[in-house]
């Protein structure tokens, strides 16, 4: 189902057509070969010292962090990854103690269980906090697409699962033109509606200790614009307090869409990553968005960690999580 252009923010209209007139669907989260716009030249930090970089909220690093990649509506794969991380055991209840779990976005689309996955992470966040741990779910491009009423990758089961969603009004005039099977989901994700409000609590990017977590990747221009400003503006749009997504998160090189470090970064890409990390006073960036067929991988002298391993059944990936413990990075795979 595609909504009419009157309900699609500029973000997913003209900006999604930058590469040769392609539609948004071409920029599927897990494609690795789509055309990209020409790379901006690397810029020196010295050229920008006149304007102070906005401060970034830095969460103190706990003893152990487990980072999980894209899940795409697969509850079984989600449970497997959470068990591997040590967050849950035989039930869906938190058992991770003071563990921090960071999931880098794209919990939804492509699978039938996306509502169940969203609800599980929402519950675990509360349970973890009560136990002295934490669960941080980040914004992915598919979360943004759903709030923008773009359902290009929703399965029939993904539409059905939102029937009867509490607080969602399928009679809202804004979704009146949607076909019946899609109306409940559309109503649930409208800005200001229950699932959009749930997502509004999720940051686009977060810095934990010396590690940056983001779905696609941050560039120097994002840091200079302000990471916290991006988080706030995206949240305000999802919560229904702002009429549109911020322009800086609209295009294919936005924090949720770009693949500069997650596909095949060259020396220039690594230079840009280095500048970004210097601005953030961080050692590494952890991201999803682009499937790593061989499992979790690093690039740019281990400053970029790519953790989308295609966990969902639609890709058939093998569960892996990235572990950061006492400042050391390791990969944990299923036995």
Q: Is 81 exposed, middle or buried (0-12, 13-18, 19+ CB in 10 A)?
A: buried
| CA 261 – CA 290 distance, rounded (Å) | 10
**At CB < 8 A and 24+ separation, what contacts does 227-236 make?**
227/54, 227/56, 227/280, 228/54, 228/55, 228/56, 228/57, 229/54, 230/204, 230/205, 230/255, 231/203, 231/204, 231/205, 234/139, 234/144, 234/200, 234/204, 235/200, 235/201, 235/203, 236/200
So what's the pLDDT on residue 251?
85
pLDDT band, very low/low/confident/very high, at 42 (cuts 50, 70, 90): very low
For residue 317, the model assigns a pLDDT of 84
* Run of H or E residues at 224: helix 220-225
Rounded to whole angstroms, the Cα distance separating 284 from 65 reads 14
What's the pLDDT score for residue 51?
74
Gyration radius of the chain's alpha carbons: 19
Average pLDDT on 154-161 reads 96
So what's the pLDDT on residue 68?
A: 98
- Specify the DSSP class assigned to residue 284: E
Q: Quick one: pLDDT at residue 37?
A: 39
Give pLDDT, residue 48: 43
Is the pLDDT confidence value at 23 over 80? no
- Using CA of residue 10, residue 11, residue 12, residue 17, what is the dihedral sign? positive
List strand residue ranges (DSSP E) for 122-175, in order. Answer: 134-137
| Catalytic residue (choose from 142, 215, 222, 289) | 142
Other beta carbons less than 10 A from residue 160's beta carbon: 14
Are the C-beta atoms of 290 and 308 separated by less than 8 Å?
yes
Side-by-side strand order, sheet with 304-306: 58-59, 205-208, 211-214, 284-287, 304-306, 297-299
| Residue-wise pLDDT tens digits, 220-257 | 999 999 999 999 999 999 999 999 898 888 888 999 99
User: Which residues sit opposite 318 in a β-bridge?
Assistant: none
Q: What percent of the chain has pLDDT over 90?
A: 78
Does residue 232 carry a catalytic annotation? Answer: no
Q: The whole model's pTM is what?
A: 0.86
Tell me the C-alpha distance between 253 and 276, whole Å. 14
Q: For residues 273 and 128, what is the distance between their CA atoms, to the nearest angstrom?
A: 32
What are 315's two structure tokens? 């890709």
Give me the mean pLDDT over the 117-142 stretch. Answer: 98
226, 234 in Cβ contact below 8 A?
no
């Amino acid at each position: 189902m595609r909504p009419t252009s009157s309900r699609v923010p500029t973000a997913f209209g003209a900006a999604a057509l930058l590469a040769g007139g392609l539609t948004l669907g071409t920029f599927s989260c897990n494609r690795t070969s789509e055309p990209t716009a020409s790379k901006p030249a690397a810029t020196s930090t010295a050229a920008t010292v006149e304007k102070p970089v906005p401060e970034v909220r830095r969460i103190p690093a706990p003893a152990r962090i487990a980072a999980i990649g894209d899940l795409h509506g697969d509850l079984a794969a989600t449970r497997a990854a959470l068990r591997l991380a040590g967050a849950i055991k035989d039930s869906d209840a938190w058992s991770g103690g003071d563990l921090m779990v960071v999931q880098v976005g794209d919990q939804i689309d492509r699978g039938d269980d996306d509502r169940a996955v969203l609800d599980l992470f929402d519950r675990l966040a509360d349970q973890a906090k009560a136990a002295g741990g934490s669960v941080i779910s980040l914004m992915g491009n598919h979360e943004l697409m759903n709030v923008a009423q773009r359902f290009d990758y929703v399965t029939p089961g993904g539409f059905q699962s939102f029937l009867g969603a509490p607080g969602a009004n399928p009679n809202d005039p804004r979704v009146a033109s949607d076909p019946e099977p899609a109306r409940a989901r559309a109503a649930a994700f409208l800005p200001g509606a229950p699932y959009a409000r749930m997502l509004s609590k999720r940051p686009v990017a977060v810095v934990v200790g010396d590690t940056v977590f983001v779905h696609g990747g941050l560039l120097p221009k994002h840091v200079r614009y302000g990471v916290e400003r991006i988080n706030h503006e995206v949240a305000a749009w999802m919560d229904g307090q702002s009429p549109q997504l911020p322009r800086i998160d609209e295009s294919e090189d936005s924090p949720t869409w770009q693949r500069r470090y997650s596909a095949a970064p060259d020396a220039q890409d690594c230079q840009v990553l280095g500048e970004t990390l210097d601005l953030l006073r961080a050692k590494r960036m952890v991201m999803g968005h682009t499937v790593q067929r061989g499992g979790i991988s690093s690039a740019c002298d281990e400053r970029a960690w790519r953790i989308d391993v295609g966990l969902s059944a639609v890709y058939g990936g093998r569960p892996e999580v990235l572990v950061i413990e006492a400042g050391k990075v390791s990969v944990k795979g299923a036995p």
